[in-house]
Amino acid sequence: MKKFSLLFILGLIPLLNLNAQQIEIPMDTTVTTQHSVNINGKSVDYTAETGTMPLWNEDREPIASLFYTYYTRNGVKNTENRPLVISFNGGPGSASVWMHIAYTGPRVLKIDDEGFPVQPYGIKDNPHSILDVADIVFVNPVNTGYSRAIPNEEGKVDREKFFGVNADIKYLAEWINTFVTRKNRWLSPKYLIGESYGTTRVSGLALELQNSQWMYLNGVILVSPTEIGLDREGPVEVANRLPYFAAAAWYHNALPAELQKKDLEELLPEVEEYTVNELLPALVKGGFMEDSKKQEIAEKMSYYSGIDKKVILQNNLEVPFRYFWKDLLREEGGFTVGRLDSRYRGLDAKEAGDNPDYNVELTSWLHSFTPAINHYIREELNFKTDLKYNMFGPVHPWDRSGNNTGENLRQAMAQNKNLDVMIQSGYFDGATTYFNAKYSMWQLDPSGKMKDRLSFKGYRSGHMMYLRSEDLKKANDDLREFIANSLPKENEPAKY
């Protein structure tokens, strides 16, 4: 049975006036509830704390209120050996909802085994949550979830403090320091996990926490990573598309019979080898490639992608992602395929064209996530507010200049021998493709001296690979293994 504590509101700040009524920004709040979940066959009692915590400026004035949900396992006597996982989603502008109620948290969406929405909406226990081995806090950056910037006396917000690659990293590091201090977790092993743009965020935070907050991590997990500031433009970017094309085409039975009969994890290494050893060197020659070679390359690309050779030649061997999503199943029912997860099929107004009308996978996800998170926070976690829960908040324009987050992560690893990195990617993700994730891992440490501290895990799903039931279990088990392997032995010094 769940026991609910009273809402303790330390302070409220008005957001706006409407007909003499105010919607309030909860500034410094705590709501705790008690729960139990069965994980891997064992009962785990836990406390869920949800609330808001302020961010201050240099004059010690509140400039933002960040919403969080914090899960701790009950009965842990000493937290110095209890890992703390700090979780972010991406966007930028996305709430920390996706991994919260679909991946690592103790409650997950009611969806079918492949991740498609079902009704009635809602959530259920997550038998694979990592809460058995680690406490977790899900953090919502400014203007996402119930997090908000606090207007100054003139009613304005200094957007430069929040909405950019480096501003985002800087203020979140300050907030994490406050959180860790308040919750007495300085002695705990600490991990950052970020998804999509969240991987840019946590890569930068790894160094910012070390250099500005003097907080050292044990691990960083990159789920469906972005380019994290690493260059892969030109022929590399074009060539790297092919393994993803092959995976998506294989899923939809759009490849030649001899390829379809191969298992996906037998097929992809073959395509990867061709991409690196033959396609990339050929693309480097650009328009000076011999015509016979161009014909040969187009033939092979068609073979591995399911796209007509003529189309590939018409695009000078550079088939755009959007054209692929529109064209792959054009002759097979006129369906489009999803960007973030190409297992999903959509219907456009016209079969003709170069771009899908909409992102079918995101539409599907919002279908199930939005009602679930709104109900869960209010009714199960007992956090009540009239603020709208921003699945995607107003954070644009976003300053993307000065993105050195990949190099920041490398530097953090070099400075901290205890810091390991794991990458998790879905093979059918067309936005942050699995092969680009591998490429980023290869380029992250050019010296190769830290490659034993970098690992990659692939899954038979898309951007949110955990939506597929089989991968939910596998991905959480991979997290458990990563945490266990990255914890140093007792009294083991951090030195080279």
pLDDT at position 3 is 39
Q: Are residues 162 and 288 in the same domain?
A: no
Domain-embedded: residue 2: no
Residue 32 falls within a domain, yes or no? yes
166-202 pLDDT tens trace: 999 999 999 999 999 999 999 999 999 999 999 999 9
pLDDT in tens, 70-123: 999 999 999 999 999 999 999 999 999 999 999 999 999 999 999 988 888 899
Q: Does the residue 493 lie in any domain?
A: no
Q: How many domains does the chain have?
A: 2
Would you say residue 62 lies in a domain?
A: yes
297, 328, 359 - which closes a domain = 359
Q: What is the CATH number of the domain that holds 19?
A: 3.40.50.1820
- Residue 152: pLDDT band (50, 70, 90) is confident
* pLDDT exceeds 90 at position 4: no
| 224 shares its domain with 343 | no
Looking at the fold, whether 15 and 156 belong to one and the same domain comes out as: yes
How far apart are the C-alpha atoms of 494 and 496, rounded to whole Å?
A: 7
In tens, the pLDDT along 404-463 reads: 999 999 999 999 999 999 999 999 999 999 999 999 999 999 999 999 999 999 999 999
470 φ/ψ angles, rounded to the nearest 5 degrees: -65, -40
pLDDT(18) > 60 = no
Is residue 32 located within the same domain as residue 100? yes
Query: Are residues 467 and 392 part of one domain?
Result: yes
Q: Please check whether residue 59 lies inside any domain of the structure.
A: yes
pLDDT band with cut points at 50, 70 and 90 for residue 488: confident
Report how far apart the first and last C-alpha atoms of the chain are (Å, whole number): 50
155 and 245, same domain (yes or no): no
Lowest mean pLDDT among 132-136, 309-313, 487-491: 487-491
**Are 37 and 162 contained in the same domain?**
yes
How much of the chain, in percent, has pLDDT values that exceed 70?
Answer: 96
Tell me what pLDDT residue 195 has: 98
Q: Tell which of 332, 359, 386 closes a domain.
A: 359
pLDDT-derived band at 24 (thresholds 50, 70, 90) equals confident
pLDDT class of 306 with cuts at 50, 70, 90: very high
Is 492 inside a domain boundary? no
Domain's final residue, options 359, 382, 409: 359
DSSP states of 433-483: -HHHHHHHHHHH-TT-TTGGGEEEEEESS-SSGGGSHHHHHHHHHHHHHHH
Residue 22: pLDDT band with limits 50, 70, 90: confident
Q: Does 197 share its domain with 276? A: no
Phi, psi of 12 (to 5 degrees): -130, 145
Q: What is the pLDDT of residue 153?
A: 83
- 33 and 161 housed in the same domain: yes
Q: What is the pLDDT of residues 215-243, one digit of tens each?
A: 999 999 999 999 999 999 999 999 999 99
Same-domain status, 220 and 273: no
> Does one domain contain both 49 and 182?
yes
d(CA 225, CA 197): 7
Which structural domain, as residue segments, surrounds residue 258?
235-359
Same domain, 92 and 207: yes
Please give the pLDDT value at position 2: 41
